[in-house]
Amino acid sequence: MKRIQLSHGAGGKEMGKLIKEYIVKNFKNNKAEVPLEALDDSAVLDGIVFTTDSHTVQPVFFPGGDIGKLAVCGTVNDIACLGATPVAMATAMVIEEGFPMEKFEEILKSMAMAAEEAGVEIITGDTKVVERGGIKDIVVTTTAIGKESRWLKSNWKIAGRKGKWLLDSMLRPGDKIIINGCIADHGIAIISKREGYGFEGSVVSDVAPLNGLMEEALKEGGVVAAKDATRGGIANALNEMAEKSKVGIIIYEDSIPINDATLAACEMLGLDPYSIGNEGKMLFGVTKEKAEDVLKAIRKHKYGKKAEIIGEVIEGNYVILETSVGGRRILDAPIGDPIPRIC
């Protein structure tokens, strides 16, 4: 008998197979403008951008944030990826019997803070409690709706290309790939705290709401695609975009921002930083004419200070990494996330 494995939830190839072969197969969409089967960051129906996420991160409190902040930001960022502004949010929480009330309230307070920063209101929800051991601590699900950003139409006009939403399938050869800052901090902060490796003094999660940053990019114009590089890291996100757009992508190792402490931790633990999840990083596909301008606009925002153009879209089928010494290798999507339960 086939059974669910941890890798089925880890954001890599195994999860992709589970979603396609079981979930998409059973949920046929007829009305959605951007349907489930597009497997984009959000769906669109009647102009409403819609997405949901469950959060099972362990430990629930980690350097740089907690499950509450993560739950709000993760969902806000998936709405923003389409070029939309989040409007309202629902949350469902499953809590383990015995979970300290004080910690519960701390989680709620950080959800409220993140929601306020993102300009989204939490307007409905549900709570369930399960017996001790039924789950560990708490699971937080967030669902959000958003509407088209006021800058989205002018963004496309400036791009000089026909498009509506920023979809993974919109990349074309010549487009540049921009990231808003350092990779792999979230995954390393989580594993360090969980396993007691001791990097947490120097590596802090990047969890942040990126809708404000997205607005700045759209205002500049020329953005054609965007994806938050969560589970499976930039390796997974870039491969998804390349596959759906039927293009290749080349990225340059030297231009990818990474903190020294995070890189040292990756080397020590034998982990590939490209496959490690982020919670405050977005990959933007931008027309080559507008790439420098969008980069400048992003760098002015507090979550984009270390932004870089890390690569470009080419003809082909693969994501290729050009290393510091000039060698080239295929950057594949990970099979499963090397660090489970980071979000």
Binding site for Mg ion (CB under 5 A): 41, 78, 228
Q: Which is nearer to Mg ion, 215 or 253 (CB)?
A: 215
Token look-up 């989205």 returns 152
CB of 324 to Mg ion, least distance (A): 29
Residue 339 carries which side chain, given as an amino acid letter? I
284 vs 200: CA distance, rounded Å = 29
301 vs 180: CA distance, rounded Å = 9
DSSP symbol at 34: B
CB of 277 to Mg ion, least distance (A): 11
CB of 42 to Mg ion, least distance (A): 8
DSSP symbol at 280: S
Q: Which is nearer to Mg ion, 78 or 279 (CB)?
A: 78
CB of 152 to Mg ion, least distance (A): 18
Is residue 333 within 8 A of residue 12, CB to CB? The reply is yes
CB of 81 to Mg ion, least distance (A): 6
Based on the number of CB atoms within 10 Å of its own CB, is 100 exposed (0-12), middle (13-18) or buried (19 or more)?
A: exposed
CB of 31 to Mg ion, least distance (A): 22
Distance of CA 222 to CAs 260, 297, 309, 312, Å?
32, 12, 14, 14
Q: Which is nearer to Mg ion, 74 or 336 (CB)?
A: 74
Is residue 221 within 8 A of residue 232, CB to CB? The reply is no
Distance of CA 213 to CAs 160, 179, 216, 281, Å?
22, 11, 5, 10
DSSP symbol at 24: I
Dihedral pair phi/psi, residue 215, rounded to 5°: -60, -40
Q: Which is nearer to Mg ion, 158 or 170 (CB)?
A: 170
146 vs 149: CA distance, rounded Å = 9
Helix (H, G, I), strand (E, B) or coil at 284: strand
CB of 15 to Mg ion, least distance (A): 13
86 vs 84: CA distance, rounded Å = 6
Based on the number of CB atoms within 10 Å of its own CB, is 52 exposed (0-12), middle (13-18) or buried (19 or more)?
A: middle
Residue whose Cβ sits closest to Mg ion: 41
CB of 239 to Mg ion, least distance (A): 14
Q: Which is nearer to Mg ion, 193 or 231 (CB)?
A: 231
Q: Which is nearer to Mg ion, 210 or 218 (CB)?
A: 210
Q: Is the omega angle on the peptide bond into residue 59 within 30 degrees of 0, that is, cis?
A: yes
CB of 74 to Mg ion, least distance (A): 8
Question: Strands 248-252 and 319-322: what pairing?
Answer: parallel
